[in-house]
Structure 1
Amino acid sequence: MQAVVASDHALTFAGRSFRAAVGRGGRRSDKREGDGATPLGPLALREVLYRPDRLAAPAAAAPVRALSPDDGWCDDPAHPDYNRMVRLPIAASHEALWRADHVYDVIGVLGWNDAPIRPGLGSAIFLHVARPDYAPTEGCVALSLADLLTILAGGLTGIMVLG
C-alpha cells in the first residue's frame, strides 16, 4: 500500500492524514545532491533499518535489518559507493546512520536514484523519525515515531510525492 505526500506538512496513508516534514528545499522534480529537496514521484520502500538498542524490530512489508554503530550512507557523487549503505570509517563524504538523536531510530530506505544510481542526482532519501518540532529534513520524509511504526505495520510499500 502506498502513502501520498501532497503537501510539505502531511502524508496520507490508508485514508488517514499524518503530520509530516519534507526537505528544506521543498518537493522538486529536478532533485540534485545537497539541494535539500524531497524528490517528486514514486519512491518504493526498499528496506527498513532500526536501532536495536532503542526498539524492537518494527513490523513492515519490506525487509527489516538492525543497524550497527559502523553503518553509514555514502553521499559523495565521486565515490563508487555513492547512494549506498557503507561501513564506517570511510574517507568519502557520508552520513552516520547510528546517531545520538532519535531521527534514525527507524529508517525506511526509499528507492530514489538507485536503479541505476546516477552521480549527483541525490542520495540517502529516507522515511525517518521527525524532530520534535517537525523541522524540514535534508530531502527525506519524516513522521513521529508512533506514526512511522503505524504506517510500516499497515503494509506501506512506498510513497508517492506530488508537486
Structure 2
Amino acid sequence: MVRRSPLNPLRAMVRFGPLSFPAALGRGGVRSFKHEGDGATPRGSMRVVSGFRTGCKHFAVASPVALRRLDRRDGWCDASAHAAYNRAVRLPFAASHETLIRTDALYDAVLVLDWNYQSRARGRGSAIFMHVARPGYMPTEGCVALKWLDLVRLLKVIRRGDMVRVV
C-alpha cells in the first residue's frame, strides 16, 4: 500500500507486508482522474506487470520479478495518439517517448505498474513506475520512488501480479 503523507502531499509511505519505506510521489499529487502530463500519481490499485534494470555495476539483486536489462535503444512511448502508447519501444522512435537509459540512477531498477497498461485509454497517463528516488525524495512525474536500498529490499520479495494500492 502507498499511503500519502498527511504532512506533504508529494510524499508517502510504502508498506508491503512487514516492510515500510518513505517514498516520493508525483509533482501533481495523487489524483483519481489521471491524464497524460499532469504529473500526478494515480489513485487506485495497480498490479506489478514487469520490471527492467540498467547494466549498472552495483546491481546484483535476485528478484521474483524478471528484470529485463535495458540498452541504449530502449524507450517508452508517451504519445497518446500512437498505437504504441504506454508501451516499451525501440529507439530511434518518431513519436514522443521517454529514453529509459538515463544519466542519473532513477531507472537503475524499475517495476512497471499496471496503470493504463493492460487496457489502455488514450491520454489517461503512461509510464507509471516504481523506481529509485531523487535525493531528498523530490517529486516524480507521477511514479512512486524509493531510496535505492529500500527498492532493493522490496525487489527481493515483490512478485509479478502483486497489487500496489495508492490511497
TM-score normalised over the length of structure 2? 0.90
- 5+ unaligned residues in a row in structure 2: which ranges? 5-10
For 2:139 and 2:117, how far apart are their aligned partners in 1?
23
1:11-55 CA distances to partner (integer Å, 9 max, x unpaired)? 112233201001011111101000001111111111110012334
Q: Which moved more, 1:48-57 or 1:70-79?
A: 48-57
Using structure 1 for the length normalisation, give the TM-score. 0.92
Q: 1:38 aligns with which of 36, 41, 45?
A: 41
Assess if the C-alpha contact under 8 Å between 2:56 and 2:108 holds in 1: no
CA distance in 2, matches of 1:75, 1:124: 7
1:125 aligns with 2:128: yes
Q: How does 1:6-155 map to 2 (within 5 A)?
A: 6-7=3-4, 8-56=11-59, 58-155=61-158
Query: Aligned-pair distance for 1:62?
Result: 2.2
Shift of 1:111: 0.6
The 1:160/1:95 distance shift into structure 2, 3 A limit, reads same
Structural RMSD (CA): 1.3
Task: Say which of 5, 27, 32 aligns to 2:2.
Answer: 5
Aligned counterparts of 1:155 and 1:105: Cα–Cα separation in 2 = 17
Q: Distance in 2 between matches of 1:30 and 1:57?
A: 37
Code of the residue aligned with 1:51 in structure 2: it is T
- State the Cα distance separating 1:115 from its structure 2 match: 2.0
Residue 23 of structure 1 contacts residue 37 of structure 1 at CA under 8 Å; is this kept in 2? yes
Q: Indicate the percent of aligned positions where both proteins have the same amino acid.
A: 48
Aligned residues: 159
- d(CA) in 2 for partners of 1:57, 1:39: 30
